[in-house]
């Protein structure tokens, strides 16, 4: 019995892990560890949950504990290597990835992770060996040529990098990444015309990388094509309104064009984003002098002096500003200070001398010079490990939403739950009379909602649901003939992701009430989640090459079980629509499943049925639009995406732009 319990708890924890309820999953793994501390798997899975929560040190410790118990656990080496790479323990991460590769020598995931760790450790030769191994295993993977070229650049092998980027473009000329990479390389080699042509190609392909626009702006400035350069900097800022380099270059260009007030605004923004940018502060001070804003110019020069005590041009700038304000004594004092420093420069320390040389050079170029002389190129390769912000705007719905890149992924299926994120933009009707009437009966712990955007539970909510399960179980001990009580407990089990127990209770509820529409819908949703989890588990093992001869039969069995479960799910949704023909969400969910089965024509028919019930079903338009596009009916697909955007799914506009190319 204890064996069955721990296996069940471990499975529920894995469910929670897959559905991103990491706090809940850790609680389940804690229970298994407490009962059976000699099992390696719960330590491994707890480590994976901790990785997702950013607790890398503790994840490392859990993996180590798992490997003490079972040193033949490749996933533990992989997870620990990942944690150590995140903590920048690169040599240790390389050892772990290498050990995992002993078990799974054909794993592309492991090779890619070890390659990255070796690159971060500056073991470029080792990283290149991993690239070559990757190419032998998967020669048609286009992006690996980008990685190869990037590492060759680190090795100063510009010829090899050029060949790699050329190969990348031969295999996939539609990718903006390849054009961008080669453009940067040409820019480094001072091939301005070639670089400009490649950046043009990257941007034609709707590049969303801010550096492409900044670098093309620099090239356009060098070619004296100022209007296009200004447009490039504007585009860069639209993509990333926190990019100080884009504002800085635009500020310099505006000053060059005589647009001094806007130039000053840009330079002020640069300093708001990066208060340490002395070059921008100097440019701002000099521009303030031009605009006769002497007080602010003095303030900026003084901030420069606070950082660089012997920076002579700042003293001269203050003296000039003081003269303009009629403060001749102060002007004389600052000129005298500058003169004394110049006379006694031999007594200044070496480091301070270097500061003087560096900063005098900086001051030698006035603010109207080309931005290319004022800043380094914006390097895609140097910036590649910086995590992209979740959105280009704090508010995801502001600005040109069609420029926000989105993945081509269907909107998720709708479920019943107590907790849901609201989306005020979407106009899908989430009200359904039968559900509203059932909620009014007060049979459940809380009110059920329809959503496709569930919220992971907090630790406090998790505990409340465990308590609810105990309380409802006490009720069932007294009476086991009430389908509503079984339905209530099924929902509580589902909240803590104990799907098998939830299905058991739903079966009992339906047996007691054969026309229980909400129970059929709920059971279909739960079974669908179990199918998702089983598919993911199989895919993960395949990706890590962990399926051997001994487990291949098990994989076939799992696949057959999935097909059987899908049939049960479809029967439940059909039953829902038999009982409630106007329940649009069952048609929609069924269409989503049909898409995964590649039965696109029938999926379109079911999306259409859901739209006949609810003419404002935004998600149905979106998914039907993607399905139309997938089967080549572009006109219908774009029309549906347009309608989805109109109804509040703003990411549809990005897809419209991309598919219209």
CA separation for the pair 550, 509 (Å, rounded): 40
Contact 391, 406 (CB under 8 A): no
The whole-number pLDDT of residue 356 equals 44
Per-residue pLDDT at 545: 53
CATH number of 415-659: 1.25.40.10
Strand, helix or coil at 651? coil
pLDDT of residue 357: 47
Handedness of CA 544, 550, 556, 562 (dihedral sign): negative
Return d(Cα 127, Cα 449) in angstroms, integer: 50
Kind plus residue range of the DSSP H or E element containing 417: strand 415-417
CA distance linking residue 620 with residue 615, whole number of Å: 10
Instruction: Give phi and psi for 333, each to the nearest 5.
Output: -65, -45
Q: Which helix (H) or strand (E) holds 550?
A: helix 549-579
Both tokens assigned to 385: 């490990």
**Which contiguous run of DSSP H or E holds residue 381?**
none
Distance of alpha carbon 624 from alpha carbon 617, whole angstroms: 11
Pairing state between β 449-451 and 415-417: antiparallel
535-558: burial string, b at 16+ Cβ within 10 Å, e else: eeebeebeebbbeeeeeeeeeeeb
Beta-bridge partner residues of 451:
415
For residue 458, what pLDDT is reported? Answer: 81
- Structural tokens at position 467: 């308590």
- CB neighbourhood size of 33 (10 A): 18
Question: How high is the pLDDT of residue 15?
Answer: 87
For the chain, domain boundaries: 1-139, 415-659
Instruction: Give the per-residue pLDDT at 188.
Output: 85
Between the alpha carbon of residue 50 and those of residues 24, 58, 86, 91, the distances in Å are: 11, 7, 13, 22
DSSP three-state, residue 177: helix
pLDDT in tens, 103-159: 989 999 899 999 999 999 999 999 999 999 999 999 988 889 999 999 998 999 999
3-state secondary structure 476-529: HHHCCCCHHHHHHHHHHHHHCCCHHHHHHHHHHHHHHCCCCHHHHHHHHHHHHH
Which residues contact residue 169 at a Cβ distance below 8 angstroms, ignoring those fewer than 6 apart? Answer: 175, 178, 179, 182
Element housing 14 (H / E)? helix 2-18
User: From CA 164, how far away is CA 75, in angstroms rounded?
Assistant: 32
Instruction: Name the token pair of 55.
Output: 């607790």
CB 282 within 8 A of CB 310: no
* Of 375, 386, 378, the residue nearest 212 (C-alpha): 378
Strands (E), 362-411: none
497 φ/ψ sector (left φ>0, alpha ψ -120 to 50, else beta): left
Output the CA–CA distances (angstroms, integers) from residue 266 to 49, 241, 243, 253, 255, in the order listed. Answer: 43, 11, 11, 10, 10
Q: State the pTM of this model.
A: 0.63
Computed over its alpha carbons, how large is the radius of gyration of the chain?
Answer: 31
Sign of CA dihedral 257, 261, 264, 268: negative
The secondary structure of 323-374 as a DSSP string is HHTT-HHHHHHHHHHHHHHHHTGGGS-HHHHHHHHHHHHHHHS-TTS-GGGT
Sign of CA dihedral 476, 477, 480, 482: negative
Q: So what's the pLDDT on residue 359?
A: 46
Task: Report the Cα 69 to chain-centroid distance in Å.
Answer: 35
Determine the Cα–Cα distance for residues 273 and 250; give it in Å rounded to an integer. Answer: 15
Q: Which fold has domain 1-139?
A: 1.25.40
Contact 264, 284 (CB under 8 A): yes
* Two domains, one topology: 1-139 and 415-659: yes
Q: Which residues of the chain have pLDDT under 50?
A: 1-4, 351, 356-407, 546-550
Q: Which two tokens stand for residue 424?
A: 């005020």
Angle at which helix 600-613 crosses helix 584-596, to 10 degrees, equals: 160
- Residue 296: how many CA atoms within 13 Å on its side-chain side? 16
Length of the chain: 661
Cα 80-81-85 angle, rounded to 5 deg: 115
């Amino acid at each position: 019995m204890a064996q069955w319990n721990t296996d069940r708890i471990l499975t529920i924890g894995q469910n929670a892990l897959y559905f991103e309820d990491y706090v809940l999953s850790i609680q389940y793994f804690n229970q298994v560890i407490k009962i059976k501390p000699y099992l390696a798997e719960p330590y491994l899975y707890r480590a994976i949950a901790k990785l997702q929560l950013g607790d890398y040190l503790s994840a490392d410790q859990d993996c180590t504990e798992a490997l003490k118990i079972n040193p033949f656990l490749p996933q533990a080496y992989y997870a620990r290597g990942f944690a150590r790479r995140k903590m920048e323990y690169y040599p240790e991460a390389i050892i772990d990835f290498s050990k995992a590769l002993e078990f799974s020598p054909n794993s592309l995931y492991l090779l890619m992770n070890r390659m990255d760790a070796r690159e971060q450790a500056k073991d470029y030769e080792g990283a290149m060996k991993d690239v070559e191994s990757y190419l032998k295993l998967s020669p048609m993977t286009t992006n690996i040529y980008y990685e190869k070229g990037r590492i060759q650049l680190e090795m100063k092998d510009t010829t090899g990098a050029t060949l790699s980027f050329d190969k990348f473009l031969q295999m996939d000329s539609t990718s903006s990444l390849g054009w961008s990479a080669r453009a940067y390389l040409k820019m480094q080699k001072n091939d301005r015309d070639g670089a400009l042509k490649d950046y043009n190609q990257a941007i034609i392909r709707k590049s969303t990388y801010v550096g492409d626009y900044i670098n093309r702006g620099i090239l356009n400035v060098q070619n004296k094509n100022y209007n296009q350069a200004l447009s490039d900097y504007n585009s860069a800022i639209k993509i990333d309104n926190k990019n100080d380099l884009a504002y800085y270059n635009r500020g310099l260009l505006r000053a060059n064009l005589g647009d001094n007030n806007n130039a000053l605004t840009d330079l002020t923004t640069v300093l708001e984003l990066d208060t340490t940018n002395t070059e921008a502060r100097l440019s701002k001070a000099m521009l303030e002098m031009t605009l006769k804003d002497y007080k602010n110019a003095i303030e900026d020069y003084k901030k420069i002096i606070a950082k660089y005590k012997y920076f002579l041009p700042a003293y001269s700038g203050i003296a000039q500003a003081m003269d303009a304000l009629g403060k001749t004594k102060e002007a004389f004092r600052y000129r005298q200070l500058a003169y004394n420093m110049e006379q006694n420069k031999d007594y200044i320390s070496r480091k301070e001398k270097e500061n003087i040389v560096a900063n005098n050079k900086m001051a030698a170029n006035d603010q109207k010079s080309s931005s290319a002389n004022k800043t380094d190129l914006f390097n895609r390769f140097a910036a590649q490990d910086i995590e992209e912000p979740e959105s280009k705007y704090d508010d995801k719905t502001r600005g040109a939403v069609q420029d926000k890149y989105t993945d081509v992924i269907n909107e998720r299926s709708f479920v019943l739950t107590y907790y849901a994120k609201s989306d005020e933009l979407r106009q899908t009707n989430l009200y359904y009379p039968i559900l509203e009437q059932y909620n009014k009966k007060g049979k459940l712990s809380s009110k059920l909602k329809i959503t496709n955007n569930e919220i992971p539970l907090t630790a406090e909510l998790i505990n409340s649901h465990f308590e609810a399960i105990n309380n409802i179980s006490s009720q069932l001990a007294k009476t086991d003939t009430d389908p509503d009580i079984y339905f209530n407990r099924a929902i509580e089990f589902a909240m803590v992701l104990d799907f098998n127990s939830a299905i058991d209770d739903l079966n009992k509820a339906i047996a007691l009430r054969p026309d229980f529409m909400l129970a059929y819908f709920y059971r279909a949703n739960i079974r669908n989640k179990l199918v998702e989890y089983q598919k993911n588990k199989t895919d993960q093992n395949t990706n890590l090459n962990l399926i051997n001869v001994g487990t291949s039969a098990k994989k076939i069995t799992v696949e057959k079980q999935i097909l059987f479960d899908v049939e049960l799910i479809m029967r439940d949704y059909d039953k829902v629509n038999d009982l409630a023909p106007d329940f649009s969400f069952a048609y929609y969910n069924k269409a989503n499943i049909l898409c995964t089965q590649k039965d696109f024509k029938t999926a379109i028919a079911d999306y259409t049925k859901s739209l006949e019930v609810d003419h404002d079903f935004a998600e149905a338009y979106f998914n039907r639009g993607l399905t139309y596009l997938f089967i080549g009916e572009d006109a219908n697909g774009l029309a549906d995406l347009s309608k989805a955007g109109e109804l509040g799914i703003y990411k549809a506009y990005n897809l419209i732009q991309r598919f219209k190319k």
